[in-house]
Amino acid sequence: MIERFIEVEGARIRCLDEGQGERTVLLWPGLGGTAEAFSRLLRDGAARDYRMVALDPPGHGRSDRMPLRGGAGAAAIFEAARDAVSAARAVIGGHSYGAVAALAALGASQDLLRRTAGLVLYDGGYLSADDDGHAQCERQIAGFTFATWDEYLAAVRAEARRWDDDMEEGARAMMVEREGRIRLRIDVASCEDAMRLIAAHAPGLLPRIEVAPAVLLRAGSPAEMETERGEGVAALRAKVPALEVRRVADASHELLDEAPGPVAEETWAFLERADWR
């Protein structure tokens, strides 16, 4: 994979770029995550002749912090990544927070909308969230610290339903050793920006987004969330009329890690139907 940095409004945004195909896919990870969250999809997509690009969001991983300015800021990042690989059109998408960023960007930029070949959402964009702001971010970031890398990796392995080298790479990329502790790379200000974006772009607050094709791969567990998920899906479909929904059975919100095979199969089937013209 090629690591590249693109400049957006004076900030350097890190991307991982894999493949030489003319069909480009741009992916944005979840809150706290980095481009490595998509490592498996990047490799497999490149082998299928796609140009696969994943990014570290602002203030995440090795990307500089930049104020998002809502959907306009997210659109500027997607557009800069697209232009950096000289793509006329691209499929855009993301996981969780990244799915919201993709929806917010499409709602804010007609240019991005015109040049989008499709939209792929990985369990995100269809559930509302409260903007709890500074206090919650501070608690989350301060509380998620470990004495050593071994302690951290043991903790995340214990929580995971499965584990492989890609997951370890992604887990390491999220963290940094600072002041003698293993800590999240994301800072409080970037966490707040992300939470504001999520709260401001709940399904009911989105404009109508005419993008096709569009797919949501949604979690199937825990079962007690099915009513809430169903309501969220209905609200999002009202704003994205072309949206198709695929339930990934037995996978939770971390479906990229828990069900890599089914997620990949759904992704490749979707990309074959994308509007690459």
Q: Could you tell me the CATH number of the domain that includes residue 9?
A: 3.40.50.1820
**What is the pLDDT of the chain when averaged over all its residues?**
95
For the chain, how long is the longest CA-to-CA vector? Answer: 52
The answer to whether position 65 is within a domain reads yes
Q: What is the DSSP string of 212-250?
A: SSEEEEEE---GGGHHHHHHHHHHHHHHSTTEEEEEETT
Mean pLDDT computed over 203-213: 97
Q: Give me the mean pLDDT over the 259-271 stretch.
A: 98
Structural domain includes residue 111 = yes
The reported pLDDT for the residue numbered 132 is 63
Q: Is residue 49 part of a domain?
A: yes
Given this model, what pLDDT does residue 240 score?
98
Q: What is the pLDDT of residue 128?
A: 84
Over residues 116-145, mean pLDDT: 87
- Within a domain: residue 176? no
Domain span holding position 77: 2-129+202-272
Q: Is residue 178 part of a domain?
A: no
Nearest to 205 by CA among 98, 104, 99, 78: 104
Percent of the chain with pLDDT over 70: 98
Cα separation, 233 vs 224, whole angstroms = 15
Query: Is 158 among the domain residues?
Result: no
User: Does 162 map to a domain?
Assistant: no
pTM (two decimals): 0.96
Q: Give the tens place of pLDDT for each residue, 149-207.
A: 999 999 999 999 999 999 999 999 999 999 999 999 998 999 999 999 999 999 999 99
Pull the structure tokens for residue 7: 């400049």
Beta strands in the chain (DSSP E): 2-8, 11-18, 23-28, 50-55, 90-95, 116-122, 145-146, 175-178, 181-184, 214-219, 243-248
Does pLDDT of 135 surpass 80?
no
pLDDT value, residue 136: 81
Look at residue 138 in the predicted model and tell me its pLDDT.
86
Token digits for 231?
């309501």
Q: Is 146 helix (H, G, I), strand (E, B) or coil?
A: strand
pLDDT computed for residue 112 by the predictor:
98
Q: Are 89 and 276 in contact (CB under 8 A)?
A: yes
The answer to the question of residue 175 being in a domain is no
Under 8 Å between Cβ of 226 and 255: no
Average confidence (pLDDT) over 24-41: 97
What's the mean pLDDT in 215-232? 96
pLDDT of the residue at 134: 67
Per the CB < 8 A criterion, the answer to whether 133 and 199 are in contact is: no
For residue 16 the two structure tokens come to 């991982």
Alpha-carbon distance of 242 to 260, in angstroms, equals 25
Pairwise CA distance, residues 99 & 181, whole Å: 31
How many domains is the chain built from?
Answer: 1
